[in-house]
Amino acid sequence: MSRRAATERLTYSLVDSLFAISGATMAQVSELMGTLGLTTALADALWQLDPEQPAPSMRELAVRLRCDPSTLTFVADRLAKKQLLKREVEPGNRRIKRLVLTAKGAAVRAKLTAAMTRSSPLARLSPAEQRQLLALLTRARALVPRPRR
């Protein structure tokens, strides 16, 4: 096997493992998502709304989720209808709407993130292994091209 083919095979195995871990994690929390009335898209949006970070604008969240702004409007409407988030107008620019978790939204997000982190196969790695993997994934993530705004 050529060096290039071996490298491609190794990269394929890494990507395949990432998909398998993600799929296993989502399968473990699918029952909770159903109980909470969340689809994968709604859960992904909640995951991105970290209450310890500044509230993103609609445009910023659409970029993070790599979706069209109209798709995000649909997702935000559904989360607002469930009283999980609210839109706040940016004081300096009324055209900008920030997405802010409600108290109910923060509680639902906390349940979701706790279930995802506990059920992930990554939770069964030792703390040292988790730190090592995090360092490598952080390096790889830094190589991801930034989506256009």
Question: In this predicted model, what pLDDT tens digit does every residue of 89-137 receive, in sequence order?
Answer: 988 888 899 999 999 999 999 999 999 888 889 999 999 999 999 999 9
Asked, for residue 29, whether it belongs to a domain, the answer is: yes
Number of domains in the chain: 1
Asked, for residue 102, whether it belongs to a domain, the answer is: yes
For residue 37, the domain's CATH number is 1.10.10.10
Any idea what DSSP says for residue 93? E
Distance CA 76, CA 98 (A): 11
> Considering the entire predicted model, what is its pTM?
0.83
| Cβ-based neighbours of 74, under 8 Å, separated by 6 or more | none
Asked, for residue 123, whether it belongs to a domain, the answer is: yes
pLDDT digits (tens, 9 = 90+) for 55-74: 999 999 999 898 998 999 99
Which domain range does residue 116 map to? 3-142
Asked, for residue 149, whether it belongs to a domain, the answer is: no
Task: Answer whether residue 29 shows pLDDT above 80.
Answer: yes
Q: Are 73 and 103 in contact (CB under 8 A)?
A: no
For residue 91, give the 3-state DSSP assignment.
Answer: coil
Asked, for residue 59, whether it belongs to a domain, the answer is: yes
From the list 110, 42, 32, the residue with the least C-alpha distance to 79 is: 42
Asked, for residue 10, whether it belongs to a domain, the answer is: yes
Q: What are phi and psi of 92, to 5 degrees?
A: -80, -15
The separation between CA 64 and the C-alpha centre of its own chain, rounded to angstroms, equals 8
Asked, for residue 15, whether it belongs to a domain, the answer is: yes
Asked, for residue 148, whether it belongs to a domain, the answer is: no
